[in-house]
Amino acid sequence: MKISTDTVVTMHYTLRNPEGEILDSSRGSDPLAYLHGHSQIVAGLERALNDRVVGDKVDIVVSPEDGYGTHDENLDLALPISAFPPEMQKELEPGVQFVAEHPDDDEQMAMYTVLSLDGDRVLVTGNHPLADVPLHFDVEIVEIRAATEEELDHGHVHGPGGHAH
Ligand code: ZN
């Protein structure tokens, strides 16, 4: 069986930055299972895995455009603390994440991370920590199977490496 849309792919992966530092890896724990063709992994990696078979080892570099995006200055914001609901104001500290409208498109949501607090201003960014970073993936395909109807219905994988519910 080859990897194609609506297959469930189980893989081991290691993600490195261009300096060779490991940013994330499934090695040493359970492999990752995802539903192929549903944008659950970055676009460049998903495309590179099309038609692969079990046992294939894939080394690829994904550009920021096909990865976590390029840095968007419009997503670096200084917000007045009063823009946050009172119960959230107490909990604002670096690293706190929240979802809010994209500044360029109020139909779209963006995930923001608090960077710092400066008096009554809160500095936040909607840029992904890996924006602008070319992603070096080293992947080994462990298993490929057809997704069940229930999985397609839910849009995610059930069982090992996936949702347990
Ligand atoms: Zn489900």
Q: What is the CATH number of the domain that holds 85?
A: 2.40.10
Q: Are 148 and 157 in contact (CB under 8 A)?
A: no
User: pLDDT tens digit string along 54-94?
Assistant: 999 999 999 999 999 999 999 999 999 999 999 999 999 99
For residue 111, give its domain range.
Answer: 73-125
**Phi, psi (rounded to 5 degrees) for 116:** -165, 165
- Tokens, residue 24: 């994330």
Higher-confidence residue of 106 and 154: namely 154
> Distance from the CA of 162 to the center of ligand 1, in angstroms?
9
CA of 141 from ligand 1 middle (Å) equals: 23
Q: Cα(42) to centroid of ligand 1, in Å?
A: 21
- In a domain, residue 40? The reply is yes
Query: What's the pLDDT at 105?
Result: 84
Question: Which DSSP symbol is given to 82?
Answer: G
Residue 119 in any domain: the answer is yes
Examine the domain organization and report whether 93 and 117 are in the same domain. yes
- Within 10 angstroms of residue 126's Cβ, the number of other Cβ atoms is 21
Distance 29 CA to ligand 1 centre (A): 22
CATH code, 24 = 3.10.50.40
Q: How many C-beta atoms lie closer than 10 Å to residue 114's C-beta? A: 19
Q: Which of 10, 3, 31, 24 is nearest to 136 (CA)?
A: 24
User: Do 112 and 135 sit in the same domain of this protein?
Assistant: no
**Does 137 lie in the same domain as 63?**
yes
Q: What are the residues whose beta carbons fall under 8 Å from the beta carbon of 91, sequence distance 6 or more?
A: none
79 within 8 A of 125, measured Cβ to Cβ: no
Closest CA to 21 of 128, 134, 110: 134
- Looking at the domain assignment, is residue 30 inside a domain? yes
- Number of Cβ atoms within 10 Å of the Cβ of 91: 10
137 and 121 in a common domain: no
How far is the centre of ligand 1, averaged over its atoms, from the C-alpha of 147 (Å)? 12
Same domain membership, residue 135 and residue 121: no
Confidence of residue 159 (pLDDT cuts 50, 70, 90): confident
Classify residue 165: in a domain, yes or no.
Answer: no
The domain tally of the chain equals 2
- Residue 161: which pLDDT band, with cuts at 50, 70 and 90? confident
Same domain, 50 and 88: no
Ligand 1 mean position to 152 CA, how many Å?
Answer: 9
In this structure, the answer to whether residues 36 and 83 fall within a common structural domain is: no
Mean of pLDDT over the chain: 94
pLDDT at 160: 80
Shared domain for 84 and 39, answered yes or no, is no
Predicted confidence (pLDDT) at residue 27 exceeds the cutoff of 80: yes
Res 18 pLDDT > 80: yes
Q: What are phi and psi of 71, to 5 degrees?
A: -60, 125
Asked if residue 17 and residue 60 are part of one domain, the reply reads yes
Token pair of 140, please? Answer: 């080994």
Specify if 160 maps to a domain: no
Contact 158, 120 (CB under 8 A): no
32 alpha carbon – ligand 1 mean position (Å): 16
CA of 80 to the centre of ligand 1 (A): 39
97-137 pLDDT, tens digit per residue, is 999 988 888 888 889 999 999 999 999 999 998 999 999 99
